Amino acid sequence: MFLTLATDLAGIDGPASDFGFLLHKNPARPQGIEITGGSAYVFYPEATDERCTAAVLLEIDPIALVRSGRGKATEGFTLGQYVNDRPYAASSLLAVALGKLFRTAMNGRCDARPDLAARPIPLEIHVPALPCHGGAELAERMFGPLGWTVDARPVPLDPEIPAWGDSRYVDLRLSGVLRLAEALNHLYVMLPVLDDAKHYWVGSDEVDKLVRAGSGWLGAHPEKELISRRYLAHRRYLADTALERLAEADGLTEPEAVPDDAEGPVSLAVERRTTVAAVLKELGARRIADLGCGEGALVGELLKDPMIAELFATDVSARALVGAKRRLRYDDLPDRQRERLRFLQSSVTYADHRLAGLDAAVLMEVIEHVDPPRLPALAKAVFQAARPAAVVVTTPNSEYNVRFDSLPAGAFRHPDHRFEWTRQEFTTWATEVADLYEYSVELRPVGPVDRDVGPPTQLALFKLREKVTG
């Protein structure tokens, strides 16, 4: 398994061999590390004033990989775990090696040449044998939007027998002017994505790795959904979580919108959370449930308020609750904070006596994930069975979707949305629910209000009506 990174003097003050400073690997001395199932080495075939090339050689022992518990192949036969392409073709094993060999470089740090680390430099990358499920065209779709010139050539099954056609491998060459840290992070993410396989179990910690490596570029990539899905082994929940966190890190949770009176993109995720938190503070709610809490973004915001005495984080997905605990660093919270917070696996469409009689319940961007025929069951579970003193509901305003340039006409903002309502549709539903279960309801905007299509998010505040006696 082999990869080279090269640069020349163009745009660099000093000899090209200063590339070694950026990589934190001395050109005069080959270096190696042990990884699961093998060894990785860095050496320099050339290191002159004009040009410098660093090569990464990864030697994999298939037997050691199997013994480590990470060598099970997908070929479907027992011998496949020992006889496969892992020793020869670039894969997640090479991505892991890059992460260990060049960790400091991937973080963009170079104390010896900080000016060089901060600037784009001419780079050439060569991966002679890269599994590419999707062919050369997919490699272009992955790397092209990131500023690379892509030369991906299919590798024939047998050069001597053209009739056999091409293999699933490409000979990949990339050239461009980018920061080294960006280039390494692109490779770290894309190698397992193009291979569409990982040699180890994929869990919630892989979301953290993807968000970290994809910071600043993945959130705006036109193939971000495919990249996230493949990187996270087609685990939909993990991919959705990664996309939400990437969007939040970039200041967006929906496609970018630039309203008439705005100076730039609006962070809808942050604005939504802070708006809901402000409404709960306005209510003076002390016992609150976040129904459908997902990764716990709102829970983290509410924990900042010392006046909240008890906070229930609920979700139908056990994995979501595990992810929320991890994101909130639940085990590291002070005792007093942990005592205020409870995690419950619970569905919003079924009555749960544990949630009865609270001061407030929140359904933030939840109802649009429920099939319309199940909405009456949701309303009954929340407004009749749980019957909190107040309910806060937010949902997208579909009329605002035309302001998202990157959203195709008629498409929903999220692939899991079952519907998205206009302002009138949401008003009708909220009014009917309030009348049926004896609540009052007030509609409020969330985000910048467009004079033609309204706000990007709409909020309904339900309050339990006081019964008049006597």
Average pLDDT over residues 27-40: 85
74: confidence class by pLDDT, cuts 50, 70, 90: very low
Q: pLDDT at position 270, please?
A: 84
Q: pLDDT at position 336, please?
A: 86
Token digits for 16? 């090209």
Q: Rounded to an integer, what distance in angstroms lies between the CA atom of residue 96 and that of residue 257?
A: 37
pLDDT at residue 268 tops 60: yes
Q: Is 387 exposed, middle or buried (0-12, 13-18, 19+ CB in 10 A)?
A: middle
Residue by residue, DSSP assigns 212-250 as HHTTTTGGG-TTHHHHHHHHTTT-HHHHHHHHHHHHHHT
Q: pLDDT at position 12, please?
A: 64
Q: pLDDT at position 113, please?
A: 84
Least reliable range by pLDDT among 223-227, 306-310, 328-332:
328-332
92: confidence class by pLDDT, cuts 50, 70, 90: confident
Q: Are 167 and 157 in contact (CB under 8 A)?
A: yes
Q: pLDDT tens across 363-386, in order? A: 999 999 999 999 999 999 999 999
pLDDT at residue 164 tops 80: yes
Q: pLDDT at position 259, please?
A: 36
pLDDT at residue 204 tops 70: yes
Average pLDDT over residues 334-346: 91
CA atoms within 13 A on the CB side of 382: 32
Average pLDDT over residues 218-244: 86
Residue 192: helix, strand or coil by DSSP?
A: helix
Q: Where are the beta strands (DSSP E) in 158-295?
A: 166-178, 287-291
Distances (CA, A) of 22 to 16, 103, 266, 379: 11, 11, 36, 58
Average pLDDT over residues 209-226: 88
Identify the CA nearest to 86 among candidates 68, 103, 72: 72
Q: pLDDT tens across 175-194, in order? A: 999 999 999 999 999 999 99
Considering the entire predicted model, what is its pTM? 0.56
Residue 431 has what DSSP assignment? Answer: H
Q: Rounded to an integer, what distance in angstroms lies between the CA atom of residue 31 and that of residue 46?
A: 15
Report the run of H or E that residue 97 belongs to, with start and end.
Answer: helix 92-101
Q: pLDDT at position 94, please?
A: 87
Q: pLDDT at position 331, please?
A: 86
Q: pLDDT at position 9, please?
A: 66
Q: pLDDT tens across 374-432, in order? A: 999 999 999 999 999 999 999 999 999 998 877 788 888 887 899 999 999 999 999 99
Identify the CA nearest to 150 among candidates 168, 164, 130, 166: 130
Say which residue, 399 or 250, is predicted with more confidence: 399
Q: pLDDT tens across 94-131, in order? A: 888 899 999 999 988 888 888 888 888 999 999 998 88
256: confidence class by pLDDT, cuts 50, 70, 90: very low
Helix axes 180-195, 224-231, angle to 10 degrees: 70
Q: pLDDT at position 389, please?
A: 97
